[in-house]
Structure 1
Amino acid sequence: MAEHNLRCSGCGIQVQTEKPEELGYAPEAALKRDPLLCQRCFRIKHYNEMSSVTPDQDEFLKILSGIGSTDALIVHIVDLFDFEGSLIGGLHRFVGSNPVVLVVNKIDLLPKAINTNRILNWVQRMAKENGLKTAEIVLCSAKKNIGFDRVVEAVARLRKDKDVYVVGATNVGKSTLINRLIRDYSDLESELTVSPYPGTTLDLVQIPLDDGRFIIDTPGIVYKHRLTELIDKKDMQTLLPDKPIKPAVYQLNEQQTLYFGALARFDFVQGARQSFTCYISNAVPIHRTKLERADELYATHKGEMLAPPHKDRLELLPPLVKHAFRIPKGSLSDILISGLGWIAINSDAGAQVVVHAPKGVKVAVRSSLI
Structure 2
Amino acid sequence: MKIRKCVGCGEILQSDDENKLGYIPYEKLLHASDAICKRCFRLKNYNELPDEKDEKKNYLIELKEIINTVDLVMPIFDVIDLESSMTTEILDLIEGKNIIAILNKVDLLPKSMPMTDISSWFKEIINGENVFPLDICMVSSKKSFGIKGIIKKIYNLSNKKDIKVLVLGVSNVGKSSVLNKLLGKEKLTVSKFSGTTKKATKNLVKFKEKNIYFYDTAGLIPDGRLSELLPKNKADKLVFAKEIRNTKFNIKKDQILMFSNLMYMKSNENIELDIFVSPKVKLHLTNMDKYKDLIDRVDLFNILDKEELDTYFDNNEFVEENIVLEKGYDLSISGLGFIKQIRGKFDVNMIYPKSVKIKERISIDRNNRKKIDMEEELLW
Q: TM-score, normalised by structure 2?
A: 0.86
Q: 2 CA distance for matches of 1:227 and 1:150?
A: 33
Quick one: which of 267, 273, 278 aligns to 1:276?
A: 273
Q: 1:213 and 1:143, CA in 2 relative to 1: closer, same or farther beyond 3 A?
A: closer
* In 2, Cα distance between equivalents of 1:319 and 1:164: 40
Identify the residue that residue 176 of structure 1 maps to in structure 2.
177
Q: 1:368 to 1:39 in 2, by over 3 A?
A: same
Residue from 342, 346, 349 that aligns with 1:354 = 349
2:84–2:223 contact (8 Å) kept in structure 1 = no
Give the 3 Å change call, closer, same or farther, for CA 249–360 of structure 1 in structure 2.
same
Q: CA deviation at 1:108?
A: 0.7
Residue in 1 that maps onto 2:24: 26
Structure 1 equivalent of residue 377 of structure 2: none
Alignment of 1:153-232 (within 5 A): 153-161=152-160, 162-183=163-184, 191-210=187-206, 211=210, 214-232=213-231
1:231 Cα deviation from its structure 2 partner: 2.2
User: What is the rounded CA distance, in whole Å, between the counterparts of 1:173 and 1:237 in structure 2?
Assistant: 13
Cα distance, 1:77 vs structure 2: 0.4
List runs of 5+ in structure 1 lacking aligned partners.
Answer: 184-188
Which letter maps to 1:158? L
CA distance in 1, matches of 2:106, 2:9: 25
User: Which 10-residue stretch deviates more, 4-13 or 215-224?
Assistant: 4-13
Distance 1:23 1:316 in 2: 30
Matched residue, 1:15: 13
CA contact (8 A) 2:70 2:166 kept: no
Mapped contact 2:258–2:283 kept (Cα < 8 A): yes
Q: Secondary structure, in 3 states, of the residue corresponding to 2:120?
A: helix
Number of aligned residue pairs: give it: 357
Q: CA deviation at 1:243?
A: 4.1
Deviation at 1:223, TM superposition (A): 0.8
The superposition leaves residues 308-332 of structure 1 with CA deviations (integer Å, 9 ceiling, x where unpaired) of: 123243355342522513325x523
Could you list the per-position Cα deviations for residues 294-343 of structure 1 after superposition, in whole angstroms to 9, with x for gaps in the alignment?
34432x32x33233123243355342522513325x52321111111011
SS of corresponding position for 1:346: strand
Q: Secondary structure at the match of 2:13?
A: strand
Corresponding residue of 1:253: 252
Counterpart amino acid of residue 322 in structure 2: F
* Secondary structure of 1:7 counterpart: coil
> Offset at 1:46?
2.0
Q: Is the partner of 2:223 in helix, strand or coil? A: coil
Match of 1:311 in 2: 306
Q: TM-score, normalised by structure 1?
A: 0.88
Report how far residue 139 of structure 1 moved. 1.0
Identity of aligned residues (%): 27
1:366 maps onto 2:361 in alignment: yes
How many Å separate the matches in 1 of 2:316 and 2:353? Answer: 5
Residue 319 of structure 2 corresponds to 322
Match of 2:340 in 1: 344
- Alpha-carbon distance in structure 2 between the residues aligned to 1:57 and 1:27: 30
Closer/same/farther in 2, CA of residues 136 and 259 from structure 1, 3 Å limit? same
RMSD over equivalenced CA pairs, Å: 2.3
Instruction: After TM superposition, list the pairs within 5 Å mapping 1:35-114 onto structure 2.
Output: 35-91=34-90, 93-95=92-94, 97-114=96-113
Distance 2:250 2:95 in 1: 48
Aligned match for 2:283, one of 283, 286, 289? 286
C-alpha contact 2:76 2:167 (8 A) present in aligned 1: yes
CA distance in 2: counterparts of 1:96 and 1:342, whole angstroms: 26
| Residue of structure 2 in register with 1:139 after alignment | 138
2: CA distance between counterparts of 1:110 and 1:82?
12
Q: Render the CA deviation track for 1:25-78: whole Å, top value 9, x for unaligned.
A: 334344233322111101012222122133332221111112442241011101
For residues 253 and 362 of structure 2, the distance between their equivalents in structure 1, rounded to whole angstroms, comes to: 22
Q: Sort the Cα spacing of 1:342 and 1:212 in 2 relative to 1 into closer, same or farther, 3 A.
A: closer
Matching residue of 1:123: 122
Query: How far apart are 1:346 and its partner, in Å?
Result: 2.0
